[in-house]
Homo-oligomer: A and B are copies of this chain.
Amino acid sequence: MIQMAMANSGSSAAAPPRQDQHDRSKWLLDCPEPPSPWHELKSQVKESFLTKAKRFKSLQKQPLPKRILSILQAVFPIFGWCRNYKLIMFKNDLMAGLTLASLCIPQSIGYATLAKLDPQYGLYSSVVPPLIYALMGTSREVAIGPVAVELIDPETDPLGYTKLVLTTTFFAGIFQASFGIFRLGFLVDFLSHAAIVGFMGGAAIVIGLQQLKGLLGITNFTTNTDIVSVLRTVWRSCHQQWSPHTFILGCSFLSFILIARFIGKKNKKLFWLPAIAPLISVVVSTLMVFLTKADEHGVKTVRHIKGGLNPISINDLEFNTPHLGHIAKIGLIVAVVALTEAIAVGRSFAGIKGYRLDGNKEMVAIGFMNVLGSLTSCYAATALECLTRLLYYTPIAILASIILSALPGLIDINEAIHIWKIDKLDFLALIGAFFGVLFGSVEIGLLVAVVISFAKIILISIRPGIETLGRIPGTDIFADTDQYPMSVKTPRVLICRVKSALLCFANASSIEERIMRWINEEEEDENTMSNDERKILFVVLDMSNLMNVDTSGITALVELHNNLIQIGIELVIVNPKWHVFHKLNQAKFVSKIGGRVYLTIREAFDACFGLKV
């Protein structure tokens, strides 16, 4: 059947009768009105909810328990997978959990100290939130810390400061969860793949440099994260106070972890070795310090973990404070920043492992994590006191070397080379994010990446280029003469196509100028042949690339038409898209050029030359 339809259409395309062509031209001129922007927005929102609604409808036919389960599954994915959970999966997950824990716990303690909170909050943040969501809850404190210090000095009022941070966390959680519920998950898409590769590379180096503090046993370390401040501090400290014992200890365990990973990679049977190497390091080094009392000889340990607070920190939340408005504002900023970072990190892990993130679920999870975290922090801390006691003698250098050992995996040079080969502008976003994180901060890096990515979109969309079209030999197809060098130019006609998707204020006037310049050049070239009449009769403007046109664009088209009329050339429009045609029609441009709008260049030729030649 299809074959037949093909053959049929093929033969009718061969010699289209004039009547047919007239009909087709009418189809273009009388096309239905496109949906208005409001209508389009509405249908887009509807569509995004439709899938849910459909699922919900098919749900209503099912018994109540099954219905509840389905809704729970949609909000908490754990209900989805826990029923099909198998033992083999548990083994993998245990490994992942151990790796994560051995990475997260020390890192979180470090970050908590950086945010001027007691270390057990760091511990809590690496243990409680993973019960709700893994990995996050670290950068949150880093973001809150410096801002919160402006309001309350942690030195003079430690309890007030803690309350402030917990309340801010609560607000951040509320905001994040509502982002997710209101389906702002499309924000996930604001980071391009290239930007994430650059961002992760820069972040890895910055985190690595931060660990020099622990590895060298330096006491006074900068709170800035940029490479310049960190290296300056390290340089200064190397001349004054650093602990060689700590350094040797850290380096030897770092080598152990790296060797373990190398073995794990070479020998697939020993895959568990790299996963538990960090844990072994912590246990062995803690024992070593405990037995040799090395902490009295300059080796810094986690040490200053104090006893618990009151069991549930819900009492620590303060809503009755003059700072509340300010706190809510910080909460919003933290929510946005933490979310972007979390998604950047999560996305890049997803990219490595090959699965996709649902931005909305992601946000709801992170939000709930923060709310519950702020309500339960001290409860968790109390419950974990035994663990904190065990960590008392753990040397900080070991925690630093565990983090350091994980970083090379975040720097993906091969991917960077791949991106360089495929897309130079994408590579620019990568480099921007990388150096932004390295010399500025995480926020600056993200900002640079987003700005470059969007600047690239704008650049490509408004590039004021036009291309000439020629006929592909043996067909009725007209294509770019640069891409298809074998295409043949048609004499006496200038066929051109706008190279960008928009004819708007930013490129309309230069496109108009360029077309006029081309015509003048063409005419000059032909002037060598001493022929009196003008060489170009038509300018055929192929609009198939244009997605949209604005009022400045229409003004430029009118100007172009007026200029062409003055030198006796006719303007013909070919294949305008729905919205473009509608706007040209509304602005009376179609009637101004005498209705010379055609579906294809071939039809335009037939119609124009049929009348003129």
The answer for the CA separation of A482 and B347 in the assembled complex, in Å, is: 36
B599 touches A499 (CB 8 A): no
Q: Using Cβ atoms and an 8 Å threshold, which residues of chain B touch A526? A: none
The answer for the CA separation of A3 and B193 in the assembled complex, in Å, is: 51
B426 touches A550 (CB 8 A): yes
Least CB distance from A393 to B in Å reads: 47
A20 touches B474 (CB 8 A): yes
The answer for the CA separation of A345 and B276 in the assembled complex, in Å, is: 70
A453 at the interface (CB under 8 A from B): yes
A32 touches B485 (CB 8 A): yes
A36 at the interface (CB under 8 A from B): yes
Cβ < 8 Å to B, chain A residues 1-50 = 1-3, 5-6, 9-16, 20, 24, 27-28, 31-32, 34, 36-38
A421 touching B586 in the complex, CB below 8 Å, given contacts A475-B13, A550-B426:
yes
Q: Using Cβ atoms and an 8 Å threshold, which residues of chain B touch A510? A: 186, 189
A545 touches B545 (CB 8 A): yes
Q: Using Cβ atoms and an 8 Å threshold, which residues of chain B touch A476? A: 9-10, 13
A613 touches B482 (CB 8 A): no
A474 touching B9 in the complex, CB below 8 Å, given contacts A486-B27, A505-B192, A507-B189:
yes
Stretch binding the partner chain, chosen from A279-287, A439-447, A456-464: A456-464
Q: Using Cβ atoms and an 8 Å threshold, which residues of chain B touch A499? A: 547
Cβ < 8 Å to B, chain A residues 83-133 = none
Q: Using Cβ atoms and an 8 Å threshold, which residues of chain B touch A379? A: none
B609 touches A3 (CB 8 A): yes
Q: Of the candidates B458, B477, B483, which one forms a contact with A577 in the assembled complex, judged by CB atoms under 8 Å apart?
A: B483
A454 at the interface (CB under 8 A from B): yes
Least CB distance from A461 to B in Å reads: 4
The answer for the CA separation of A426 and B551 in the assembled complex, in Å, is: 7
Q: Using Cβ atoms and an 8 Å threshold, which residues of chain B touch A457? A: 457-458, 461-462, 502, 504, 506
Q: Using Cβ atoms and an 8 Å threshold, which residues of chain B touch A611? A: none
Q: Using Cβ atoms and an 8 Å threshold, which residues of chain B touch A272? A: none
A24 touches B505 (CB 8 A): no
Least CB distance from A201 to B in Å reads: 15
Least CB distance from A17 to B in Å reads: 9
